Amino acid sequence: MNRPAAATRGYMRPMQGWWRRDPFFVRYMAREATALAVLCYSVILAVGVVRLAQGEAAWNAWLQALRSPFAVLLHVVLLGAMVIHAQSWFEIMPKTMPAMFIRGKRVAQSTIMRVGWAAAGVSTVLLVAIAWWLK
């Protein structure tokens, strides 16, 4: 009995379009797809760093480009995608972590999720505050 599991007897149903079969799978695919938005924004920031290294004129041109209506629209879309990405990762986070125990009691999954959101909220506020202060 050394044949692989795939070769066992019986009728195998096709997997085509599997991710559309259940809303849960659609949400999973949304989590995976919105990673591209994270990639996209990291490219935008990396370009900014390169432009900064190229001197004042290049930096100002990059800042100017970010003010175009297309760039603003892109930022709104990317922000939306990032919120979906964060939300879906916080949802799965308790399942991806080793069990945590505080005073012998297991920390509830909902607590881990809330701590995640709190950390995201606090760091966002801090970042905006620092940006405001530097302005």
- CA dist 35 and 14 (Å) reads 27
Could you tell me if 39 and 81 are in contact, meaning their C-beta atoms sit under 8 angstroms apart?
A: no
Least distance (Å) between residue 121 CB and another protein: 23
Could you give the CA distance from residue 131 to residue 6 in angstroms, rounded to a whole number?
56
26 sits near another protein (criterion: CB under 8 A): no
Quick one: which of 7, 5, 78 has its CA closest to 40? 78
Instruction: Report d(CA 73, CA 37) in Å as an integer.
Output: 13
Under the binding rule (CB under 8 A), the answer on residue 135 touching another protein is no
For the record, the structure tokens of 130 come out as 């620092």
**Are 135 and 63 a contacting pair, CB within 8 Å?**
no
98 binds another protein (CB under 8 A): yes
Q: Rank residues 11 and 133 by Cβ distance to another protein and give the closer one.
A: 11
Q: Is 97 in the site for another protein (CB under 8 A)?
A: yes
**Residue nearer to another protein on the CB measure, 5 or 53:** 5
**Which residues, 6 or more positions from 101, have their beta carbon under 8 angstroms from its beta carbon?**
107
Using the minimum distance from each CB to another protein, give the nearer residue, 27 or 51.
Answer: 27
| Residue 13 touches another protein, criterion: CB under 8 A | yes
**Binding another protein by CB under 8 A: which of 39, 95, 133, 134?**
95
Closest separation between CB of residue 29 and another protein, Å? Answer: 9
Residues in the site for another protein, rule: CB under 8 A? 1, 4-6, 8-13, 15, 18-19, 21-22, 24-25, 28, 32, 91-92, 94-99, 101, 104, 106
